[in-house]
Amino acid sequence: MLFTISPDQWLAFAAVVTACMGVITTVVGLRRTSKQVKDKSDEDCIDRLRATRKESEELAEALHGLRMARYNYTSNDDPQGRLKEMDDVLERWSHLE
């Protein structure tokens, strides 16, 4: 006895295979997209970290300059200029709170 498949059965089989391939393609696409989004968020995080490190180094350098200027203070120095410099550094720190 020869096994035969009618054209309707072939169409049903092709529809099932096509649906399965569509589901697989969708899952692969979603996984790839989520990985790309994660990679982008990692890059953003690294960029923010670099900017924060740079800012902290600049503030540490400014604070060090203020501390060292305290020891080099003489009566001929401009106290208003030193106070303005301190206010500038403290203002830059104020957003960190």
Q: What are the CA-CA distances from residue 18 to residues 35, 59, 64, 70, 76 (Å)?
A: 26, 61, 69, 78, 87
Q: Tell me phi and psi for residue 78, to 5 degrees.
A: -90, 105
Q: Could you say which DSSP state residue 50 is in? A: H
How many distinct structural domains can be found in the chain? 1
Structural domain boundaries, residue 83? 52-97
Question: What's the alpha-carbon Rg for the chain, to the nearest Å?
Answer: 34
Could you list the pLDDT tens digit for every one of the 97 residues in the chain?
A: 456 778 888 889 999 999 999 999 999 998 988 888 888 888 888 888 999 899 888 888 888 877 777 666 554 566 566 667 777 777 776 665 5
DSSP letter for 77, please: S
The answer to the question of residue 17 being in a domain is no
In a domain, 5, yes or no: no
Q: Please report where in the chains the tokens 């391939």 appear, as a residue.
A: 21
Predicted confidence (pLDDT) per residue in 48-75, tens digit: 899 989 988 888 888 887 777 766 655 4
